[in-house]
Amino acid sequence: MSTIIRAATSAEFLSLVPHLLGCTPVRSLVLVPFVGSRTLGALRADLPVEGDTDDLDRIASTLIGLVCKVSHVDALAVVVYTDDPVGTTPRPHAALIDALLSRADICGLELRDALAVGPDGWTSYLDDAGARPHAEPAPVGGPDHPLDADQFVRAELPELGLLRTEHLARVGLELENGLADTWSASAATAALHLSDPCVLFEDLVDAEPDPDDVPRLAGMLWALQRPALRDVALTQWATDLPTGDRALDAQLAFLDGDPIDEDLAETLLGEGEVPDVRRLTRGLDVCRHVAAAAPPALRPGPLAAAAWLSWALGRSTHAGTYAAHARAIDDEHGLAGIVLALVAGQRLPEWAFRREPPVAAATSPAGTGWSRGYPGR
């Protein structure tokens, strides 16, 4: 879903930028690609260290190259969010802006604006005026779409309460131990749900996660610890239930030496059909709840799954955070390592650059990752 930007002034434009990301970015570079008067969202990257000019041309080439991958893009605006005062001469990060604008010009992109936001206000790189007063965020989206304080908020796991976490941890450990004769009623119910894992995966994305539904969440925890079932869940959440059934059959056939169907493999590589954002977001919520309630030894599975889902949604900062947490527990975890490599390589799924349907808002570290967003993150 593209967005028509109706901003007569730079101040009005600045008031809209946080809504494109779903957060008020800090220490960030934001590039807003345009197709005519419409923007498809915003790309956010961490600011490089001020004064470190050795890699500016490389960074600028990479970032503008990513902007150029957005379908039909013909213009962009650039915004720097910094902790430094912006009413100074030279402007903070002026060398980075020069490198970006030079590369944009080479690529034939029209420059709509180049702005900086700091503690003393905002200013333009295109004139000599000092700092102007901060622009108030525009009231976009209403109370259902509040802005996050910064790009890191959504990477925090939910607080579920001690009793809930203890209950799920206990049931999860029962399933891991595999001693069915001593299972509690919750563990037995969880095992029943796992008799048809694709139905379990679908039930969990049909509604908001219920922290009191311990059997389903414990079953999900067990599944996410097993790469084959985890990949089925991720594929199903990125597609639909019939594709999940196909993915499960393919994983079973793979054990007998058969290759995985190409379209199923493409989905996990971010090269398939554009996913339903709602399903990916629900799956991410499930994994975050499961990770929050799991005992530390069992967290790498749900954390790595949350990392991939964040990456699939374009939230590279969150993806890297979850993957790093998983690797801190299991330094050889495969999926977590893959996601960290994707983030470090500034790789987003190919569907992040297509116009319809929208990919949810995202955050990412510059030089190590990227992000894309749209209103209603």
- Mean pLDDT in runs of 10 for the chain (377 residues)? 58 85 85 85 84 80 88 90 89 92 92 92 87 70 53 72 83 82 87 94 90 90 95 96 95 88 90 90 93 90 96 88 95 95 86 57 37 31
DSSP category for residue 92: T
Please tell me the distance from the alpha carbon of residue 127 to that of residue 79, in angstroms, as a whole number.
Answer: 14
Tokens of 77: 């605006």
Cβ contacts of residue 257 below 8 Å, gap of 6+?
none
Residue 244 sits in which domain range? 162-344
Count of beta carbons in the 10 Å neighbourhood of residue 344: 14
3-state helix, strand, coil in the chain (%, to 5): 50, 10, 40
Decide: 351 and 273 in contact? Cβ < 8 Å. yes
Q: Tell me the residue type at 174.
A: E
Residue 157 domain-assigned (yes or no): no
Residues linked to residue 35 through DSSP beta bridges, in sequence order: 38
Provide the pLDDT for residue 361. Answer: 38
Residues 131 and 167 in one domain: no
pLDDT in tens, 306-325: 999 999 988 888 899 999 99
DSSP H helical ranges for the chain = 10-21, 56-69, 94-106, 162-177, 185-193, 197-205, 214-224, 227-238, 241-254, 262-268, 277-293, 300-312, 316-329, 334-344
Q: Which of 119, 151, 183 is the last residue of a domain?
A: 151
Residue 269 domain-assigned (yes or no): yes
Provide the pLDDT for residue 256. Answer: 85
pTM over 0.95: no
Provide the pLDDT for residue 148. Answer: 60
Residues linked to residue 315 through DSSP beta bridges, in sequence order: 371
The number of distinct structural domains making up the chain is 2
Residues 210 and 339 in one domain: yes
Residues 130 and 218 in one domain: no
CB hemisphere CA count around 85 (13 angstroms): 7
DSSP category for residue 50: T
Residues 170 and 145 in one domain: no
Residues 89 and 236 in one domain: no
Provide the pLDDT for residue 371. Answer: 36
Q: Which of 108, 124, 151 is the last residue of a domain?
A: 151
Residue 250 domain-assigned (yes or no): yes
Residues 124 and 182 in one domain: no
Decide: 174 and 184 in contact? Cβ < 8 Å. yes
Residues 256 and 296 in one domain: yes
Residue 360 domain-assigned (yes or no): no
Please tell me the distance from the alpha carbon of residue 56 to that of residue 184, in angstroms, as a whole number.
Answer: 59
Residues 249 and 311 in one domain: yes
Residue 314 domain-assigned (yes or no): yes
Provide the pLDDT for residue 141. Answer: 47
Provide the pLDDT for residue 145. Answer: 55
Provide the pLDDT for residue 369. Answer: 36
Residue 375 domain-assigned (yes or no): no
Greatest pairwise CA separation for the chain in angstroms: 77
Q: Which of 128, 151, 174 is the last residue of a domain?
A: 151
**CA dihedral sign of residues 265, 242, 220, 226:** negative
